[in-house]
Amino acid sequence: MSEATSTVRTAETLELQRLIKALDVLEGQFRQQRAVLQRRGMSLPPGTLNGIQQARTDLEASLSAYEEAAREVSRLRELGRTAELINSTLDLNDVLNEVMDTVIALTRAERGYLMLRNPHSGELEFTIARNIEHRTLMENEFIISRTIVADVARTGVPIITTDAGADERFDSQQSIIRHGLRSIVCVPLLLKETVTGVIYADNRVKTGMFAEQELQLLQNFANQSAVAIENARLYETLRANLANITAMQNLLSNVFASIASGVITTDAQDCITTMNPAACRTLNLEAEACLGKPLWQVWELIPANTLHAIREDGMSESVEVDVEVAGKGTLNLNISLSPLRNAVGQTEGVAIVVDDLTEQKQRESQLNTVRRYLTPAMVDNIRSIEALGLGGERRIITSLFVDVRNFKRFPQHLTPRELMAYLNRYLTVAADAITQRNGIIDKYMANEILGLFNTQLNPSEDHALRAVLAALDMADDFRALYAQFGEPTGVRYFRVGINTGIATLGNVGSATRREFTAVGDSINSAHRLLENAQDGEIVISEATYQACAAVLNQIPRLMLRGQEQLFVKNRREPLHVYRFYREDA
């Protein structure tokens, strides 16, 4: 039993109770003496018993008044203790539970409910409901007079009724009739003259449970509770916002840390404020040792006047430089500097982004070396080649074989090194003609080259025509080369065979060493045409001719012979071919 709901047994109350019992004993003794005296014809002095009875009545009144005063003091103490408690915590659930338990204790109610106004919708919502046993009520146990709650929330005026069923204000309300509600008290939660909620307490059994004294006490407590609840709400909102801000900061920190580029920021005094891990790795620096120090002191590459110009002019600057970095050697860095502005557009410092291009430059250098040995199409589409895996794909292509010059036709006095130089000049002429018409070089075979058109790497619908035009281009380019070497006028050393047909294209080799190539009868037939070509002659198959006949007939200085049948080794059926060459200009 709590102090607020029990008789406070102080020394004063005990003494009054002792005196009342003593008077009871004294009255009994006087009544016995009165009987004895009456038998002897005597009596007590007039008013003796009445005086004792009056004294007893006065003592009982004093005891009752004292006990009521003690209960009031106890309630006030409980109110003060609870007010102090609810204002000492910012946990909203703790505040609400303490408020509701105190309401029930102060009013001796059977149940209590607290409803708060939703800050968004403005509607009252059940926040907590408790009973006299301090048990939280479930939603299906909510039994209240919604009319009383609505009136208090609308007017801000508290309502008390000692017998709701007999109160003419509410005797027609269905909830009161249906649930047999008796004593009800309902007070508003007022915050700056605004109703933020209501406290409702009732008793379904007893009437006359609440009086004006409980109402006034409860209203004062409700006003304090409104402030405590609002503070707890604000704290909950602040804590939620802080959690969101913390989560956002963590996200930004994670993003900042995961950026591949080095990022450094400075303040208006050029001191480093942030430095992500990428910047530390690139410049071989420790962030802890750099933060707070002037950038130009940590990294002499960027002087103070440059940072000042970026801040004052508001312009961005980017430069690519080779820098010596301790422990890492020479690095090729791309450095971008830009003003660091706040939310209102004011410049507060400089943001520096550092990208290490060293490996990229090295790869580009290696790629340039590779381009000397592979065609541009194969280099630029190296990923497409890798995607093919080990295997192949059948497709219609045009293959071109060229014999740039028979070894027996080279000058006999050349040393091996000079012969190789001569040969490379011839091979270059043929290779350039093929690649300029979007062909790719499949392989070099001593003095021969195999060029392919319409592979997965260089698809084209007019691949047959491109191959023929590449052959005509190299014919003209070979004549120019002969003139440079001082060869006799009219000589022709090259031969070309071109065929269009189905071939299998893909990667051959192993997992560690592969080669992209084409295989099939159509490739072999192209080489047979080369073998049967004369010096300076281009031999094409029927399929190639049909694919570009309309254009061939319009090419100037083209000497085209009619179709002929060509029997080649390893084939029973003859090949239908066309021979042509370009006349000298």
Give residue 52's pLDDT band: very low, low, confident or very high (50, 70, 90).
confident
Q: Architecture of 375-582 per CATH?
A: 2-Layer Sandwich (3.30)
pLDDT computed for residue 2 by the predictor: 44
pLDDT computed for residue 3 by the predictor: 45
Q: Where are the domains of the chain?
A: 3-75, 88-237, 260-361, 375-582
The Cα-based distances of 230 to 96, 153, 201 in angstroms read: 11, 17, 21
**Residue 574 vs residue 582, higher pLDDT:** 574
Buried b / exposed e across 260-280, counting CB within 10 Å, b at 16+? eebbbbbbeebbbebbbebbb
Q: How far apart are CA 109 and CA 206, in angstroms?
A: 10
Question: Whose CA is closest to 302, among 260, 352, 258, 343?
Answer: 352
Q: Which fold has domain 260-361?
A: Beta-Lactamase (3.30.450)
Cβ-contact 219, 201 below 8 angstroms = no
Rounded average pLDDT over 274-287? 89
Q: Architecture of 88-237 per CATH?
A: 2-Layer Sandwich (3.30)
Indicate the range of 197-206, 375-384, 402-411 predicted with least confidence. 375-384
Cα 477 → chain centroid:
60
Question: Whose CA is closest to 63, among 107, 14, 120, 117?
Answer: 14
SS3 per residue for 394-428? EEEEEEEEEECCCHHHCCCCCCHHHHHHHHHHHHH
Give residue 464's pLDDT band: very low, low, confident or very high (50, 70, 90).
very high
Highest mean pLDDT among 125-129, 135-139, 575-579: 575-579
**Residue 156 vs residue 34, higher pLDDT:** 156
**Ramachandran quadrant class, 68 (left: phi over 0; alpha: psi -120 to 50; beta: rest):** alpha
pLDDT computed for residue 222 by the predictor: 77
Q: How far apart are CA 521 and CA 475, in angstroms?
A: 26
DSSP, collapsed to helix, strand or coil, labels residue 572 as coil
pLDDT above 60: residue 479: yes
One fold for both 88-237 and 260-361? yes
Q: How many CB atoms lie within 10 A of CB 157?
A: 11
Give residue 225's pLDDT band: very low, low, confident or very high (50, 70, 90).
confident
pLDDT computed for residue 402 by the predictor: 96
The DSSP code sequence of 130-192 is EETTSPBPPGGG----HHHHHHHHHH---EEES-TTT-TTTTT-HHHHHHT--EEEEEEEEET
Indicate the range of 75-84, 293-302, 318-327, 514-523 predicted with least confidence. 75-84
Name the token pair of 7. 């008789």
Please compute, for residue 202, the number of CA atoms within 13 A of its CA located in the half-sphere on the CB side.
26
**Residue 371 vs residue 428, higher pLDDT:** 428
pLDDT above 80: residue 11: no
Give residue 511's pLDDT band: very low, low, confident or very high (50, 70, 90).
low
Indicate the range of 238-252, 330-344, 483-497, 564-578 predicted with least confidence. 238-252
pLDDT above 90: residue 36: no
Please compute, for residue 276, the number of CA atoms within 13 A of its CA located in the half-sphere on the CB side.
20
Give phi and psi for 244, each to the nearest 5: -65, -45
Name the token pair of 129. 């409901």
Q: How many CB atoms lie within 10 A of CB 496?
A: 30
Tens-place pLDDT, residues 414-457: 888 888 888 999 999 999 999 999 999 988 998 999 999 998 88
Q: How many CB atoms lie within 10 A of CB 485?
A: 11
- Pair type for strands 558-560 and 564-566: unpaired
C-alpha angle 538-544-545 in degrees, rounded to nearest 5: 80
Q: How far apart are CA 424 and CA 409, in angstroms?
A: 15
Rounded average pLDDT over 302-316? 85
The Cα-based distances of 163 to 155, 168, 177, 178, 198 in angstroms read: 22, 10, 11, 14, 20
**Residue 208 vs residue 438, higher pLDDT:** 438
pLDDT above 90: residue 259: no
Residue % of the chain over a pLDDT of 90: 20
Residue 562 burial (C-beta neighbours within 10 Å; 0-12, 13-18, 19+): exposed
Name the token pair of 423. 């040969």
Tens-place pLDDT, residues 311-357: 888 888 888 888 888 888 888 889 999 998 887 888 889 999 988 88
Give phi and psi for 440, each to the nearest 5: -120, 150
Cα 109 → chain centroid:
52
Give residue 148's pLDDT band: very low, low, confident or very high (50, 70, 90).
confident
Residue % of the chain over a pLDDT of 70: 82
Question: Whose CA is closest to 505, among 458, 471, 461?
Answer: 458
pLDDT computed for residue 6 by the predictor: 44
Give residue 499's pLDDT band: very low, low, confident or very high (50, 70, 90).
very high
Cα 171 → chain centroid:
59
pLDDT above 70: residue 379: no
pLDDT above 90: residue 255: no
Indicate the range of 153-162, 415-424, 509-518 predicted with least confidence. 509-518
pLDDT above 90: residue 10: no
DSSP, collapsed to helix, strand or coil, labels residue 328 as coil
Q: How far apart are CA 507 and CA 11, in angstroms?
A: 108
Residue 520 burial (C-beta neighbours within 10 Å; 0-12, 13-18, 19+): middle
Give residue 474's pLDDT band: very low, low, confident or very high (50, 70, 90).
very high
The Cα-based distances of 535 to 400, 539, 560 in angstroms read: 16, 11, 15
pLDDT computed for residue 60 by the predictor: 77
Mean pLDDT of the chain: 80
Give residue 168's pLDDT band: very low, low, confident or very high (50, 70, 90).
low
Torsion angle defined by CA atoms of residues 403, 406, 409 and 413, in that order, rounded to the nearest 10 degrees: 120
Q: How far apart are CA 453 and CA 59, in angstroms?
A: 125
